[in-house]
Each structure stands twice: as C-alpha cells, then as structure tokens.
Amino acid sequence: MSEKPKRRVALKVLGATLGAGAFARAMAPLASWSKDLSMGEFLQKHYSEMTPDEMNTVMRRLESNTKRDYGRDVNIRDIRPSEGVEFGYALNLSVCIGCRKCAEACHNENNHDRRTNNSYIRVLEMEQGSFDMEKGNATYTHAVPAAGKYYMPVQCQQCSNPPCVNVCPVQATWKEPDGIVVVDYNWCIGCRYCEAACPYHARRFNWTKPEIPAEEINPDQAYLSNRIRPQGVMEKCTFCLHRTREGRLPACLEACPTGARVFGNMLDPNSEIRWVLANKRVFVLKEDLGTDPRFFYFFDE
C-alpha cells in the first residue's frame, strides 16, 4: 500500500526535473540573445512609424554599436527621397566588358562581407545569341571579354511591381516614392521569402555577421542603405541611395571603365536616362513576369 505513492512521488520528481531541464534548455538562447539585443533595439518601431527624434536615437545607437563591434567611427544618416525624382538605370551591353569593376565598387561602397566577397551585382557571362539568364556564369575568372561571350551585370531592377515586397510577411521591405526598394534591416525577420520571390536573384541573405576590417569600412552610411547589416537579415541594392539622393552618381557607375552605365532622373526630360529610353532599343529582363523594372538594358546598333 505504501509502495505505490512512493513510486508516484518519484515519477513526479523525475517529471518535474526533466520539465525544468527542458524549460531551461528552451530558454537558453534567450540569455545569449539578450546580450546582443538591447531593450532599445527590441522595442524599436518600424522605419515608417519612427519620429525624427526616435530615428536619431536609433542611428546614434547603431553608430555606437559599429564602434563597439568593428572599431570604426561611422556617420549614419536618414536621407529621404526628393520630390520630382524617380530613378532609372540603363546598361549598355555592347560596351560592357565584364571586368566586374562595378561589383567590386559595390562591395566596397556598401560594406559587404569580405569573406564571401559579396556584392549586389552579379556579372553574368552569356553566350552570344542566347538570352537565358539562368545559364549565365557569374564565377568566370579568365581574361575578358572572351570570344563569343557577352556580359550582363544583374542587380536589383527596382521593379515598379516588386514581387519581393508583396511576399514580405512583416512589411520590412517596401518601395520608396523615388522608385527604390528598401529594407528596414532592423524590422526584417530573415524569412527569405523575398529572396525566393525575386526573379533576378537580386537579394542576399546575411548568413553570418559581416566581417569587414575597420580600415575598409565606408563611414558614409545611411539607415536604409549601406550601414553594416546585422546577421540573419536580407539586403539588396539601393541604387546607393546615400549617394544618389544627394545628387551623386552610384558607386557602380563611377567605377565602370567603359561607361556602360547610365543613371538619372526619369522625370527629368533632359536627363541622360531619358535620352537612352527615347533613342536606344531598350529592353527589361523577364518582361513577361510583369515586374515593370526601372533597370533597362540596351545594345548599340
């Protein structure tokens, strides 16, 4: 009679111990997580809901985090779009030689992870006469331009009907009034739906915390563009909005040695981009998908 209750007690104790152990194990990530994530970061609002003061606080916090983690003083700004400006980009495939200088400039300008040599631009080596982007080779290492090939740099096409924005479950990515699709890296949950939805392979995921030596960090940063991204979030080309919203040319264009790239305001009838759209035979990638890109390609006649 007295045996049974004892066994029951033993089982209860065992169960409680296992339960407590399992709970502690389940909560363990929380302890390490709170080290990296301050209360301010946890309670941070969405970009569109922050007041200028809150935005300022967030940017100063990000600057001090960069100083702490990377040992570099940087300047993070929040630059808003200008009225009467919608950006457009065109690329002349007849003169592109595939030297990857644009991808290299992007890598340096946008504080990309050095380990993966990441860049928002992939230069595809294509067979002349073929137009299957999926067959393009992005990892060639021979001298360029090779015979029988042409080169097609592909980056975010800043679609007017962006599939990546439509699939985001938390609205961490959206289209700005000047046509640039941006990501609030602090709102992104890293589900990578947008990466899957993009037909141009234009989005990248930060699998690890980016590694950049302090002296190589570009200190001219913006909240929505080239500030160093945290681990576990998506990133993408922003047409260098920290430069272009101040009237400067994007880094990839300045680096292009052949002048294959044309950038400007599509609402200005006297801009270079408008001249190209009016006078060259321009086309967009995967037009049939209805994404309505703002990135155009053309060949010289």
Q: Is 257 exposed, middle or buried (0-12, 13-18, 19+ CB in 10 A)?
A: exposed
83: contact with another protein by CB under 8 A: yes
Q: Give DSSP secondary structure letters for 7-39.
A: HHHHHHHHHHHHHHHHHHHHHHHHHHHHHHS-H
Q: Does 236 help bind another protein (rule: CB under 8 A)?
A: no
Determine if 228 is a binding residue for another protein (CB under 8 A). Answer: no
Q: Check residue 82 for interaction with another protein (CB under 8 A).
A: yes
- Stretch 176-205: interaction string toward another protein, x if CB under 8 A: -x----------------------------
Q: Which stretch binds another protein (CB under 8 A): 36-44, 139-147, 182-190, 210-218?
A: 139-147
Rank residues 3 and 83 by Cβ distance to another protein and give the closer one: 83
CA–CA gap between residue 172 and residue 195 (Å, rounded): 13
Instruction: Pick one of 249, 284, 285, 289: the residue that binds another protein (CB under 8 A).
Output: 249
Using DSSP bridges, classify how beta strands 75-77 and 220-222 pair: parallel, antiparallel or unpaired: parallel
Q: Which helix (H) or strand (E) holds 83?
A: none
The answer to whether 260 and 280 have CB atoms below 8 angstroms apart is no
> What is the C-alpha to C-alpha distance for residues 60 and 127, in angstroms, rounded to an integer?
49
Q: Is 254 in the site for another protein (CB under 8 A)?
A: yes
Question: What tokens were used for 267?
Answer: 């609402």
Q: With contacts defined by CB under 8 A, how many residues of the chain interact with another protein? A: 62
Residues 6-25 that bind another protein (CB under 8 A): none
Q: How far apart are CB 40 and another protein at their closest, in Å?
A: 17
Are β-strands 87-92 and 295-299 bridged in parallel, bridged antiparallel, or unpaired?
parallel
Residues that bind another protein (CB under 8 A): 52, 55-56, 59, 77-78, 80-85, 90, 92, 95, 97-101, 103-104, 115-119, 122-123, 135, 137-141, 143-145, 177, 244, 246-249, 253-254, 256-259, 262-265, 271-272, 275-276, 279-280, 300-301
